[in-house]
Amino acid sequence: MCGRYTNTLKREDLARIFPEAAHLADATGCERFNIAPTQDVLAVVERKGERRMGPLRWGLVPFWAKDVKIGAKMVNARAETLDSKPAFRDLVAQARSRCLVVADGYYEWLRPEDPKAPKVPVHMALAGRRPFAFAGLWTWWRPPEGGERLATCTIVTTRANAEVAHVHDRMPVMLCDDDSRDAWLDPANDAAALAPLLEPLAAGLLTVTPANPCVNSHVNDGPECLEAPDAPLTLL
């Protein structure tokens, strides 16, 4: 799964991989070290052939939902059931409802050998903490009583690869190059054509490093989240 992640780059550095970042009104969403569900996240969407980057609330709220609170339970969408779950099947079939959630790493929690010991956070990233995108879905939701529309999203997950499996049995779908990101947003691709993109990241591409326990609280969102803990941690 994916319940916390990072997008630590400055806007100008992010724009080298995602040109859309150059047109952001401000740097909100950049230099984030502990992004949590129900917060606004940076994402790229494509409408009428034009890509735009902007904020989406993390936690998908289907258009038919009566309460925005359902979004807290829909921060992830399983790749294996995208085409069968009512909340996701229409979204994955339409390119305008797919998005790229911008990131440079994510957190998981390692269970120590001692069952009484607390879980230990680790950070997973590409070499050099190179930015990438999670495959995402997004939609609009309007409160039943009326009011402003809310744009919300979810991150697609798949089975874990060998590097992640000792920590968790799921991992986010990571789109690490222009071709895969273009394919995810391509309106010519239906759900069946997207299947190869939903495979786990190839082994050997992720680095797994200890994170600071302060990341356990979403209130902490600074560089200290990625500072190694005082006590040594052995990663399997």
Residue 47 token pair: 């409408």
User: Catalytic site residue 46?
Assistant: no
Element (H, E) at 191: helix 191-194
Mean of pLDDT over the chain: 93
Share of the chain above pLDDT 70, in %: 97
Q: What is the pLDDT of residues 2-39, one digit of tens each?
A: 899 999 999 999 999 999 998 887 778 899 999 999 99
Alpha carbon dihedral 14, 58, 61, 46, in 10-degree steps, equals 0
For residue 33, what are its two tokens?
């070290």
Lowest model confidence (mean pLDDT) among 45-49, 168-172, 202-206, 221-225: 45-49
Active site (annotated) includes residue 108: yes
pLDDT computed for residue 53 by the predictor? 96
Residue 146's pLDDT band (cuts 50, 70, 90): confident
- C-alpha closest to that of 109 among 230, 221, 208: 208
Report whether 56 contacts 43 (CB < 8 A).
yes
Looking at residue 236, its pLDDT comes to: 44
Which pLDDT band holds residue 90 (cuts at 50, 70, 90)?
Answer: very high
Distance set, CA 209 to CA 67, 81, 98 (Å): 38, 31, 30
Q: What CA–CA distance (Å, rounded) separates 157 from 142?
A: 26
Taking alpha carbons only, the member of 105, 94, 104 closest to residue 45 is 94
Taking phi first (over 0 means left), then psi (-120 to 50 degrees means alpha), and beta for anything else, what does residue 53 get? beta
Q: Of 20, 46, 108, 163, which is the active-site residue?
A: 108
Residue 235 confidence (pLDDT): 47
Number of Cβ within 10 Å of residue 147's Cβ equals: 8
Amino acid making up residue 175:
L
Give residue-wise pLDDT tens across range 33-84: 999 999 999 999 998 889 999 999 999 999 999 999 999 999 999 999 999 9
CA-CA distance, 174 to 198, in Å (whole number)? Answer: 8
Our CA dihedral for 94, 151, 36, 60, rounded to 10 degrees, sits at -50
Q: For residue 218, is pLDDT > 70? A: yes
User: Do 167 and 88 touch, CB atoms closer than 8 A?
Assistant: no
**Mean pLDDT across the stretch 78-98?**
95
Mean pLDDT lowest for which of 73-82, 110-119, 130-139?
110-119
Share of residues in the chain with pLDDT > 90 (%): 82
Residue 79 CA to residue 173 CA, distance in Å, equals 8
Strand 150-159, strand 50-58: pairing: parallel
What are 194's two structure tokens? 């997207």
Domains and CATH numbers, the chain: 5-226 (3.90.1680.10)
Q: Out of 2, 30, 153, 225, pick the active-site residue.
A: 2
